[in-house]
Amino acid sequence: MKRLLPLLAAAALIAVPAASARHAAVPTLQAGKLIVAFGDAAPGFASGTVRGSTVTNPRGYEVDLATAIASKLGLTPVWVYTSWNSLFAPGTKKFDISFQEATITSQRKKTVDFTTSYLNANQGVLISKQTAPPKSIADLKKLQTCAQTNTTGLGWITTQLHPDKQPLTYPTTTAAYEAVEINRCQALILDVPLVALQKKQTPTKFGPVAGQIATHEQYGGVLQKGSKLTATIADSVELARMVLAQISR
């Protein structure tokens, strides 16, 4: 019987120190600034106060990463909010780069550019408090699953799991977590780092993270398709990732 893989510890989220090199005439939307977009709050990655389209006092690994990139390029970071469901839409973006724990896929590359990868992730299974933890894929198929729209988690449910019940879908992670909390959804399929940190932050609201599905995904920063920044920021992300790896040893 095919079984769920045991949950591994979430990746260490360590601040990346800013580099000192500066670049002249970087082609950003606003001279001297790097417009960085985040989405729904993701504990450990990017959380802050959202007012309209602005984000104040953001904190987390992706914030540290964006700050390091801006510093390397000699730019001042400006934090904005953008919805997940519009992230991969073709057309002009209102940001220079977005960090939203976005998995790099060939389909998404048709409409946006990506940086190099800055984190690896599998899919996790977060269950409600009223649900017995599934011990196998067969057990998981019997549960009421859910996922955020336009995610690789939803793609895995529909193309690989084929559950007995139609999966519920939600436009935001907040709505999906709420569905698990009230037991409307018994098992949320979402990236392991996200569900593990959400469970850690609010442990009494959910059951355990029952396991993970090995999908070997990689997160990348999102830019407008054909952006003149892509190569420059990709190099910056790679440098920051290397520094992070050295610190983590």
Kindly state the DSSP code that residue 83 receives in the 8-state scheme: -
Please give the pLDDT value at position 234: 80
Q: Under CATH, to which class is 121-216 assigned? A: alpha beta
The list of the chain residues with pLDDT below 70 reads 1-24, 240-249
- Per-residue pLDDT of 98-119, as tens digits, reads 999 999 999 999 999 999 999 9
3-state SS class at 140: helix
C-alpha dihedral, 58 to 68 to 15 to 218, nearest 10° = 90
Domain extents for the chain?
33-120+219-248, 121-216
Instruction: Tell me if domain 33-120+219-248 and domain 121-216 are identical in fold.
Output: yes
Please give the pLDDT value at position 24: 53
Please give the pLDDT value at position 232: 87
Closest among 195, 44, 197, 45 to 127, alpha carbons compared: 195
Please give the pLDDT value at position 75: 95
Q: Which two tokens stand for residue 117?
A: 């990868």
* Domain over 33-120+219-248 is classified CATH 3.40.190.10: yes
Q: Which two tokens stand for residue 240?
A: 């920051």
Please give the pLDDT value at position 8: 38
- Per-residue pLDDT of 61-89, as tens digits, reads 999 999 989 998 999 999 999 999 999 99
Please give the pLDDT value at position 235: 78
Q: What is the DSSP string of 127-193?
A: E-TTSPPP-SHHHHHTS-EEEETTSHHHHHIIIII--SSPPEEESSHHHHHHHHHTTSSSEEEEEHH
- pTM for the whole structure: 0.85
Half-sphere exposure of 5 (CA within 13 A, CB side): 12
